Amino acid sequence: MSKDWTGNGNSVYKTLGASSHAVSERQCDDYYATDPVAVEKLRNAVIIPPYVWECACGAGHLSRALMADGFNVLSTDLVDRGFGYVGVDFLKEERLPEYLQGEDCCILTNPPYKYATEFVEHALELLPDGQPAFFLLKTNALEGKGRFERLYRHGYLHGVYQFTERLLCAKNGDFEGMRAGGGSAVAYAWFLFRKVRAADTIIRWI
């Protein structure tokens, strides 16, 4: 059964328990829209729960693709890019939105790159143990001693779904300009986290 997530600005903050209506555009220089094909490729590799929080939704590229496939998607972002509930700082949220509590839910997003580690950590704090968090990250996010200590040593990384072709993540949503410039030089993968220790971390190509 689908949820109704429409409402006025006041109602969504009651729903989300938002603790900050930030006016500073933290992500103004860190907004890279994701080619919606990323959702299709992930769906072909893993089961995505029916209730999704896209917590850095930008202009809605991932959210729209998920909704077109029948998912119930709550879309929020700190910055107003013309889509979803805005002024919501994910890193300051203290609990899951009430519509996700007790449901078969997940967090799925392409986070601001410079806050990616913090986004993963906070998602695992908010989600019930075992519920998935899908993050689109650069493949080289697997590197780094500090990142290993914070994200990987606990065994919470269950899967890495590596794109076999370069995925377009276009600055400020300019996909045409990116294609005209030769496409992407960056490798991306979906990283699947759950706050339960994995027996092994799988790597799959999509």
The encoded tokens of residue 27 equal 């992500």
Helical H runs in the chain? 9-16, 37-43, 61-68, 116-126, 145-147, 175-180
130 near 194, Cβ under 8 Å? Answer: yes
Print pLDDT tens along the chain (206 aa): 344 443 333 344 344 444 333 434 444 556 777 888 999 999 999 999 999 999 999 999 999 999 999 999 999 999 998 999 999 999 999 999 988 877 799 999 999 989 999 999 999 999 999 999 999 999 999 999 999 999 999 999 999 999 998 786 645 555 555 555 555 568 999 999 999 999 999 999 99
The pLDDT score that the predictor gives to residue 196 is 97
CA pair distance 54, 101, nearest whole angstrom: 15
CA pair distance 160, 105, nearest whole angstrom: 20
Cα end-to-end span (Å), the chain: 30
Identify the structural domains of the chain with CATH numbers, from first to last. Answer: 26-205 (3.40.50.150)
